[in-house]
Amino acid sequence: MVADAWRFHRTFSGDAVTTPSLGSEYISLDPLRVRIDTHRRYSEIADDVNKVVSDTLRLNGNENLVDIGCGTGEFLKHLVDRGHRGRLAGIDASLAAVAAASRVPGVDGIRGAAEDLPLFDSVCDVLTARHMLYHLTDPVRALQEFRRVTRLGGTVCVVVNHARTCHRTRDLVTEIAARFGLSAPDGMINEDVNSDTIADMMTEVFGDVDVHRMDNALAFPKPEPAVRFAESLFSFCGIASDHPQRARIRTEVETALRNWFEDHPGRTWRDPKGYTVATVTCS
């Protein structure tokens, strides 16, 4: 039972949303899956962030591990596939993400908010929070929660993106969206949380932090995958899934990218990116 395994003691209450927001973005995980697939296939330097995180943690396979903001559940599946024997749970505000985690054999999917985790104190040996802290308005509160639920001697591992990661594509979409009177909604990306700030932020809560920085870029050799990736960013640029001009906006994005490739034969659409893995031992 989840309640026994993870000492689950709080319920999550969230308001339904219908405008571009974190809630609407993750009703379906399809855009997230597009982004994950894009980074896997079109990174300039081949990179498997799931392997980087698990290798950084040096897991023995017996740890009770909780993944905050578990998304598609692929990190938890990665651990299961590697033979992890300890208890595994994924916590996310998205029902779709909770369902995805629950479909991984041996994993508990739990709905909850990072700033108010539905766990008792010191229940985790390892806590991971990958590519999610910059979605929060109060990331320090979340880090305090991470420390609360992780035992002394346990490990907290946070992954955040570089500042302005993949902004070449995002800026293109934002510029075109602005022609239709749309702008990036508040509350989806906290620009203050990035590779340049995470060490100081975590030091404030935990003390000494080990940091591993990965610099990279997306490199698209043709327009189709670039268009697909650009569309996966629409909500972050204020374009709702049911916006009446969405199809027209997509056409303009596609036209702009196709024109760029026609004007630059033999070149790739390169969009700099990167992330930092920050790890601490709770003391």
Q: Does the pLDDT value for residue 9 go beyond 50?
A: no
Q: What pTM, to 2 d.p., does this model score?
A: 0.92
Q: Which residues of 228-258 are buried (b: 16+ CB within 10 A; e: fewer)?
A: bbbbbbbbbbbbbeebebbeebbebbbebbe
Sheet with 88-92, edge to edge strand ranges: 107-111, 88-92, 65-68, 124-130, 150-161, 269-281, 210-220
8 falls within a domain: no
pLDDT at 159: 98
pLDDT at 20: 86
d(CA 75, CA 55): 12
169 falls within a domain: yes
3 falls within a domain: no
pLDDT mean over 120-137: 97
Closest by CA position to 194, among listed 238, 232, 158, 221: 158
Summarize pLDDT for 75-84 with one digit per residue, the tens.
999 999 999 9
pLDDT at 1: 35
- Confidence grade of residue 276 (pLDDT, cut at 50, 70, 90): very high
28 falls within a domain: yes
Q: Does the pLDDT value for residue 4 go beyond 70?
A: no
> CB count, 10 Å around CB of 271?
23
Share of the chain above pLDDT 90, in %: 92
pLDDT at 19: 72
Q: What is the DSSP string of 225-274?
A: HHHHHHHHTGGGGT--TT-TTHHHHHHHHHHHHHHHHHHSTT--EEEEEE
The CATH number of residue 77's host domain is 3.40.50.150
92 falls within a domain: yes
Q: Does the pLDDT value for residue 12 go beyond 90?
A: no
19 falls within a domain: no
Domain count for the chain: 1
Summarize pLDDT for 139-195 with one digit per residue, the tens.
999 999 999 999 999 999 999 999 999 999 999 999 999 999 999 999 899 999 999
Q: Report yes or no: 37 and 71 within 8 Å, Cβ to Cβ.
A: no
Summarize pLDDT for 183-236 with one digit per residue, the tens.
999 989 999 999 999 999 999 999 999 999 999 999 999 999 999 999 999 999
16 falls within a domain: no
17 falls within a domain: no
Summarize pLDDT for 227-266 with one digit per residue, the tens.
999 999 999 999 999 999 999 999 999 999 999 999 999 9
Q: Does the pLDDT value for residue 70 go beyond 70?
A: yes
Closest by CA position to 20, among listed 183, 185, 250: 185
Residue 98 belongs to domain spanning: 24-282
